[in-house]
Amino acid sequence: MTHEQMDTLLDGLVRGELNPQQQKEAQAHLENCPVCQAKFTVLNDSVQLFDDEELPPAFQQNWRQAVQAEARKEERQGGVLLSPRFTRLVALAATLLVLVGGTWAAGNSRRQAAQSMAMPSQADQMALPQAALRMAEQPEADSMMSMDAAQGPAAMAKSAPEADIPLAAPAPQEAQIQGEAVQPASLEPTKPEVATKEQVEADKQGAESYDLKAQQPEGLALVLSDLLTFLRVAWPYFAGLAALALIVRLLNKRRKQP
């Protein structure tokens, strides 16, 4: 048996973990090898190094006293209010409160915004029936005239057969004859009261989006949708808080790590 082979058996020999055959071979080698015998003796002495040492009574007493004192100190300092369970409960309640409040506020503001966008303005509301009325009254062929009227009295004058005759503003009766496109009281060319096709389309779209209220989610879907809206706005704050909490936790753990 070589020194290296004996080295692998030394631990087992000292700890009494070898089988009888291994033990016999190891003992035989030790009798003829002073180097391995020295190693074995050192290991054997190491295992029994403190067998003669007595455990100091002061140590047995002191660590118990220190632990009891520490327990009393922690109980005095911490109490119920600073216990980890209580702080966790408070943190959970605060998070829930923020989520519920934020969701409600986000939903509320979203609905208000949707309403203000979908609802036509007062002016639009007044114009809508008039435009619809005119569309109903005027035949399709008159639309060109309406377009001209929308471009102002000057354009109307050009399109007329007597285009070479300058006409600053037609008389009220004349305008009415030409298709009742221009209101007599208003001669302002940039704000015609006549509804164009585009305006009517826009009005229709507005009315459709106003009807979207009926398609909005309800119940749980509504709450989830509001929550999503809130989180979309507030996630950087939550992420920041979570990062801060993580850092504090790590520092705390590091401080308390024995």
Name the site residues for another protein (rule: CB under 8 A): 15, 34-35, 37-39, 41-43, 45-50, 52-53, 55-56, 58-60, 62-64, 66-68, 70-72, 74-75, 78, 83-85, 256-258
Least distance (Å) between residue 13 CB and another protein: 13
Separation between Cα atoms, residue 2 and residue 39, nearest integer Å: 14
Separation between Cα atoms, residue 33 and residue 1, nearest integer Å: 10
Least distance (Å) between residue 43 CB and another protein: 6
CB nearer another protein, residue 39 or residue 110: 39
CB nearer another protein, residue 46 or residue 205: 46
CB nearer another protein, residue 70 or residue 188: 70
Least distance (Å) between residue 71 CB and another protein: 4
Separation between Cα atoms, residue 6 and residue 3, nearest integer Å: 5
CB nearer another protein, residue 50 or residue 140: 50
Least distance (Å) between residue 258 CB and another protein: 3
CB 41, CB 73: distance < 8 Å: no
CA torsion through residues 134, 136, 137, 142, sign: positive
Question: In the block, which residue shows the tokens 């504090």?
Answer: 248
Separation between Cα atoms, residue 2 and residue 193, nearest integer Å: 113
